[in-house]
Structure 1
Amino acid sequence: MRALILSDIHGNLEALEAVLAAAPPHDAVWNLGDVVGYGGSPNECVAVMRDRSDASVRGNHDKVCSGVMPATHFNPTARQAVEWTMGVLTTESRTWLEAMPQGPLSPPGSSSLISHGSPAGEDIYVLNIRDAWGTLQASEHRVTLFGHTHVQGGFHALGSQWLGFQPAHRNGSSKWILPLNTDGTRYMVNPGSVGQPRDGDWRAAFALLDEESNELTFYREPYDLARAQGRILMAGLPERLALRLREGR
């Protein structure tokens, strides 16, 4: 199984199209949630992922923008983006978002697990090894894939040894390979955010998991940033949402 891992697209059609155009050959597409929210192309991103994804779990923005739960716990900027997104979503888009499973789940034909936040709760951020420790110790899956933090990288553990890692995209390199040990090491891996990275690199982030060759490859891909920013501004969304795309924060 060679799975293309996408997470946190957040309505950024330009980033999503660039990622799909650059993606290496794969057998399946796994969506880790937050297809909408923040960006100016929610319906377009839903349409692409509805057609392309083979396994999906919902994100916190997906469930709020589709009306599954209120946005009372969101900050004012995120809440404004939610209200705009709810107002422009088509019935078809909203229905698809509502139907996405909560996760975690194991995609068909795979030994891995996918979730939006922590498998313990989709709204829980996994920011450090302490957050990851429980899953790494208890999981029956060698690889657990998650998003939500918008930071590409992850954690691994073998017995009492647990470490974090972050891809080294030196000199603007587009990929970084993580060999997956077969000695009982367990991994929690975040492919990064397609549409709104927050790790200091503005380029769209994604990953490819090859379960046969035991490799996970992290990628970064440039996209038409100005056009994505323009869609946000033309929608009347907060200027901060456009500016932060350039900052990668």
Structure 2
Amino acid sequence: MMLAEARSVFELNSSLLLSPLLMRAPKGDGHPVLALPGFLASDLSMLPMRRYLKELGYDSYAWKMGRNFGGVASKRAALRDLLRQIHDTTGRKVSIIGWSLGGIYARDLAVQLPDMVRSVITLGSPFANDITATNATRLYEALSGEGINDNPEIREAIAGDLPVPVTSIYSRTDGIVNWRTSLLRPSSTAENIEVHLASHIGLGVNPAALWAVADRLAQPEGEFKQFDRSGPFAIAYGAPENALS
């Protein structure tokens, strides 16, 4: 599956071709959305999503920290400052979207500053179960200077139930992250959404994933309903019960 990650190019092209359909997603209410890139990625990787969300009416923000070389513990202070800045500037709670490692940062921010976070959406993020079961573990530890099993109290908090609405979008055909590490415990404010045949590298530009992100962000603040899979990309999603099997 790792070798098949090259299909991400087709996922991006599909989103471009289906852009008229994607623009039929629910419109935003203008609230701020922070997009956090994955490991070794930069803001450029999140540019298509930020542009899409801006077109839908959201106030989208980049992380502006260059390439993401990792470091959950070492980046905590800078990410808190960024979240506070956006919250103070806009006067509104911030939704956070994190791709892969960016999703772990997003969950950590929700644990630390829940009063500033409106919702969290992760894309192929390995935060649960055996988080060492990825193809990037050794490289992450080498570049970040942090061991996967360092700071167990932070790791356990990130893996647990969050105090804000949260959605985990994942794919069983992820060639980088074991999809089981992306499963959260479903509840009245937490859900898993499986996207069939999506790659890890392409998950943030996959049309079905983009639709799901837009749908989740459009929920009124303080409200949460489980994702309705009957939309235009219905065939691309796994059934809700599949997330627990």
Common fold: TM-score over 0.5: no
TM-score by length of 1: 0.35
TM-score by length of 2: 0.35
Q: Which has the higher helix share?
A: 2
Q: Which has the higher strand share?
A: 1
